[in-house]
Amino acid sequence: MEVHAPRGADPVQPPRGAALTPYDDAWLREYRRRHTHLFPEEQAPAPARAPGAGLPRSASNGYVSEAAFQAAAVRELEAMGWTVWQMYLGSARGGSVWTTKGIPDLLAFRPPGTLVWLELKQPGNVPSAAQLERHAELCAAGLRVAVVWTLPDLLAFAEERTA
């Protein structure tokens, strides 16, 4: 199958340090990722978006950092009966812990079999390309992924899953 970039569109650029030969498998995957509208039959369900999705940087969620937001989110979810695993905190001895690039911040679950992945963002920030790729993989596997910018949005999402 031959794939050509639409006239006037930016050509697909290879990732830094990786040379992609036009029309090889890696190039085609990247092209399809960037131009999903051309391949509607291959689209995975989009991650669930919070009502405040894409808050401008001038907005506030009440936290000075994503780490503070995450700590509050974990505390509130656990108070609601969720078990929450934080994906990246470092090791107990102060060393680095390596995870898959783009993995969501939190994995929350509760009986009977309710499991959600949560990506927390500060206002003005959006998920990276690697995060969106992981979200698409998780959604394709039938798992729920939510990107949230505020604690009320997170709690509303958790309440929906509890009901």
**From its phi and psi, is residue 46 left (phi > 0), alpha (psi between -120 and 50) or beta?**
beta
Let me know whether 128 and 155 are in one domain.
yes
Q: Are residues 122 and 55 in the same domain?
A: yes
Domain ranges, residue 36: 1-43
pLDDT averaged over every residue in the chain: 75
What is residue 52's predicted lDDT score, i.e. its pLDDT? 44
Residue 110, phi then psi, degrees to nearest 5: -160, 155
Q: Specify whether 96 is located in the same domain as 80.
A: yes
CATH of the domain at 144: 3.40.1350.10
Average pLDDT over residues 20-43: 67
> pTM for this structure?
0.61
- The reported pLDDT for the residue numbered 160 is 81
Q: What is the pLDDT of residues 60-104, one digit of tens each?
A: 777 778 888 888 999 999 998 999 998 877 666 666 667 788 889
Question: Who wins on pLDDT, 3 or 28?
Answer: 28
Q: Are residues 29 and 55 in the same domain?
A: no
Contact 94, 77 (CB under 8 A): no
How does residue 46 score in pLDDT terms, banded at 50, 70 and 90? low
Residues 33, 109 within the same domain: no
Interatomic CA distance for residues 93 and 147, integer angstroms:
30
Q: Is residue 125 scored above 90 in pLDDT?
A: no
Residue 18 contacts residue 25 (beta carbons within 8 Å): no
Q: Is the pLDDT of residue 39 over 80?
A: no
Q: Both 102 and 152 in a single domain?
A: yes
**What percentage of the chain exceeds 70 in pLDDT?**
63
Q: Provide the pLDDT for residue 154.
A: 87
- Are 44 and 37 in contact by the 8 Å Cβ rule? The answer is no
Residues 1 and 20 in one domain: yes
Which of these, 46, 48, 62, 49, lies nearest to 123 by C-alpha position? 62
pLDDT, greater one: 8 or 66:
66
What is the C-alpha to C-alpha distance for residues 37 and 30, in angstroms, rounded to an integer?
A: 13
Predicted pLDDT of residue 86? 87
Helix extents (H) in the chain = 25-34, 66-79, 129-140, 151-162
Residue 119: pLDDT over 50: yes
Residue in this structure with the two tokens 């506030």, named with its chain if needed: 60
The mean-pLDDT minimum among 4-18, 19-33, 68-82, 105-119 falls in: 4-18
53 and 39, same domain (yes or no): no
Structural domains counted in the chain: 2
Contacts of 137 (CB under 8 A, 6+ apart): 44
